[in-house]
A and B are shown apart, each in its own frame.
Chain A
Amino acid sequence: MNRLTKALLAWPKALLLASLLASLGFWLVSDRMDPYYMDVLTKIGINVILAVSLNLINGYTGQFSLGHAGFMAVGAYSAAAVTMFAGPKILALAPAALLSPATAGLFLAALLIGGLAAALAGFMVGAPSLRLKGDYLAIVTLGFGEIIRVIFRNMDSLGGALGLNGIPAYTNIFWVLAVAAVCIYVVLTLVHSTYGRGFIAVRDDEVAAEAMGLNPTRYKIAAFVIGAFFAGMAGGLYGHYTLSIDPKGFDFMRSIEIVVMVILGGMGNTAGVIAAAALLTLLPEFLRPFDKYRMVFYSLLLIILMLTRPQGLFSWKRAFKPAERP
């Protein structure tokens, strides 16, 4: 644990409350802010949720998952389905004076449903992970992500290959920052609780963890379910922000982007991952003039990073050491 994480963990509940209030305050003044900055901040918030939740699976539990965009897709589609198909009927019942709290409640419910649907998908992906390790697991999660995408492409009720359009614009800076704060809170306090030490134990040495009486299976599944839940919520936020989603937006590349954030920040280093998510969201904005070379640059960065600092940019201690077995 580094100093920043320690500071985050000193008064977790107070900090959560403070950040929720801060996001509310941010929302109140958001009208007076430059829309461009708000746009970037929203994108950062969504990426932070995705990266921190993936960090629970990849970083803390050591289960390399390449299918995070698939969970995001499940959440985005489920939440959008709720607000688009059930939303108008529910809002019609609400009296005019209570319309805005009703909308907020509806959106929260939609986000939660999106998260739960993604958590269910996470459970289904987590189950095979009991038998698989390392790169095999990576390729299976990749496969799951692609399968989810193909299924959405074939579901005509959800727009098929064209995707869903006309999703109501419910996402604002409050929701994004609040969900990000809750996500960080849950992941940090969970991992640093007595129960949560098990995640790290499973990552460091599964056999030893099992010998100590932990049940690695349960930890792995828990990591997948919780990680997928927040990815689903991020998907819901994303859908209600961009107002249209299509299966292409949740492809393998999207998963890789999130993985890169986790690696850049340092596996199992939440503060680093948050910083990396912000950095990698800002980077394309700065690289806009060189848009053509952006992806080349990005891939080179990934290679050079792995060759020189495999432990991440923001980790000084080696968090991820190779298992040395004869």
Chain B
Amino acid sequence: MIVFLQQLINGLSVGAVYALIALGYTMVYGILRFINFAHSDIFMVGAFCGFYCSRMDAGRTLAGGLLVMAVAMAVCALLGIIIERLAYRPLRGSSNLAVLITAIGVSLFLENAGQLVFGADPKPFPALFPERNFTSHSGLTISSNQLLVFVVTAALLVALQWIVMRTKMGTAMRAVSFNHQAAALMGINVDRVISFTFGLGSALAAAGGILYSLNYPSIDPYMGVLPGLKAFVAAVLGGIGNIPGAALGGVLLGLIETFVKGGKYSTYSDAIAFGVLILILLFRPAGLLGKFQVEKV
């Protein structure tokens, strides 16, 4: 039972990070209907921002750590907006595949430029926050980093839900995801909404990158690939384009993966995410919370 609960905690903390990345995929997909492959590399850039900004947090205080995280989020939001402006906006209106391939190109560019700028060798990620473990009488352990992951993720999710549902920009986002042209006719600046979406998603990815690196403290330019793919799977699992779905999918995927890793087939854990993806797409292509749309001719 203890093992089960322990795995549950570990799985939730992994899943929370997946959820943060998945939100970026899902928001961009909801608005532009394309998979932003470069998102996983923004996650990586976020982690590296945390690495380089860590000296701002010499005392390893909670406030300092949060400041580092905020800086990384701002940098990545800017990066996301720049990428959208330079690489994706010129392709607005052309075929989906052209955009998808461009996104793959951007992803490769960030990885390889990262190798040149940051170096190819893995770097140890510094501890940004004060650390301690809380152990219950029965032996259940939860680290302060895991707690932090839960708290920060929950806070960001609430903030996101507030932005999307309660602000003017959020209303515009929903309108654009519903129909670009109609939204434009209602006086919404579609390009600005798309930029905002990219910024928001990228900021969440940066937060995810730092939280991920706290628990797996070794970062390299290719670190984003696997978590990124898994987060994408999480977004599809929950129903892509659906914000609560992405959070749910992330948590579910984190749990599934952790339990598989703890079991007999641990070497297959990387294949699990894809297996889940294929099953979901075969049996419920719209995802758990998504609505199935009939194609109109």
Whether A146 and B271, one on each chain, are in contact in the complex, defined by CB atoms closer than 8 angstroms, is yes
* Other-chain residue from B97, B102, B111, B236 in contact with A307 (beta carbon distance below 8 A): B102
How many residues belonging to B are interface residues under a CB distance threshold of 8 Å? 46
* Other-chain residue from A143, A252, A259, A323 in contact with B101 (beta carbon distance below 8 A): A259
Whether B282 and A296, one on each chain, are in contact in the complex, defined by CB atoms closer than 8 angstroms, is no
Give CA–CA (A320, B94) in the complex, Å: 10
Give CA–CA (A303, B103) in the complex, Å: 8
A259-B101, A310-B98 are contacts. A303–B113 as well, Cβ < 8 Å?
A: no
Whether A131 and B105, one on each chain, are in contact in the complex, defined by CB atoms closer than 8 angstroms, is no
**What A residues does B277 contact at CB under 8 A?**
139-140, 143
How many residues belonging to A are interface residues under a CB distance threshold of 8 Å? 41
**What A residues does B268 contact at CB under 8 A?**
150, 154
Whether B102 and A132, one on each chain, are in contact in the complex, defined by CB atoms closer than 8 angstroms, is no
B225: nearest chain-A partner, CB-CB: A252
B285: nearest chain-A partner, CB-CB: A131
A99 to chain B, nearest CB (A): 41
B106 to chain A, nearest CB (A): 6
B116 at the interface (CB under 8 A from A): yes
**What B residues does A154 contact at CB under 8 A?**
267-268
Whether B109 and A153, one on each chain, are in contact in the complex, defined by CB atoms closer than 8 angstroms, is no
**What A residues does B112 contact at CB under 8 A?**
295-296, 298-299
A320: nearest chain-B partner, CB-CB: B95
A135-B100, A139-B35, A300-B109 are contacts. A307–B271 as well, Cβ < 8 Å?
A: no
B288 at the interface (CB under 8 A from A): no
A144-B274, A146-B271, A310-B98 are contacts. A293–B116 as well, Cβ < 8 Å?
A: yes
Whether A153 and B278, one on each chain, are in contact in the complex, defined by CB atoms closer than 8 angstroms, is no
B41 to chain A, nearest CB (A): 11
**What B residues does A138 contact at CB under 8 A?**
35, 100
**What B residues does A303 contact at CB under 8 A?**
87, 102, 105-106, 109
Whether A207 and B281, one on each chain, are in contact in the complex, defined by CB atoms closer than 8 angstroms, is no
Per-position 1/0 for A252-268, Cβ under 8 A of B: 10001001000100000
**What A residues does B100 contact at CB under 8 A?**
64, 134-135, 138
A306 at the interface (CB under 8 A from B): yes
Give CA–CA (A143, B277) in the complex, Å: 8
Give CA–CA (A85, B35) in the complex, Å: 43
B108 at the interface (CB under 8 A from A): yes
**What A residues does B78 contact at CB under 8 A?**
none
* Other-chain residue from B97, B102, B273, B274 in contact with A320 (beta carbon distance below 8 A): B97
A150-B271, A207-B297, A300-B109 are contacts. A306–B98 as well, Cβ < 8 Å?
A: yes
B6 to chain A, nearest CB (A): 26
**What A residues does B35 contact at CB under 8 A?**
135, 138-139
Whether B102 and A150, one on each chain, are in contact in the complex, defined by CB atoms closer than 8 angstroms, is no
**Counting chain B CB atoms within 10 Å of each CB, which of A139, A263, A306, A310 scores highest?**
A306
A110 to chain B, nearest CB (A): 27
A292 at the interface (CB under 8 A from B): yes
B139 at the interface (CB under 8 A from A): no
A322 at the interface (CB under 8 A from B): yes
Whether A310 and B285, one on each chain, are in contact in the complex, defined by CB atoms closer than 8 angstroms, is no
**What B residues does A207 contact at CB under 8 A?**
295, 297
Per-position 1/0 for B74-117, Cβ under 8 A of A: 00000000000001001101111111111011111101110110
Interface residues of A in 189-234 (CB under 8 A from B): 207
**What B residues does A144 contact at CB under 8 A?**
274, 278
Could you give 28 example pairs across A and B, Cβ below 8 Å? A64-B100, A128-B278, A128-B282, A132-B285, A135-B96, A139-B35, A139-B236, A140-B277, A140-B281, A143-B278, A146-B270, A147-B274, A147-B275, A150-B267, A256-B104, A256-B108, A295-B108, A295-B112, A295-B115, A302-B102, A303-B102, A303-B105, A306-B98, A306-B102, A310-B91, A310-B95, A322-B95, A325-B296
Beyond the given A143-B278, A150-B270, please list 4 additional residue pairs across the A-B interface where CB-CB is below 8 A: A139-B236, A140-B277, A295-B111, A306-B102
The 8 A-B pairs at the shortest CB distance, nearest first, are namely A143-B274, A302-B105, A299-B108, A299-B109, A295-B112, A303-B105, A322-B95, A150-B271
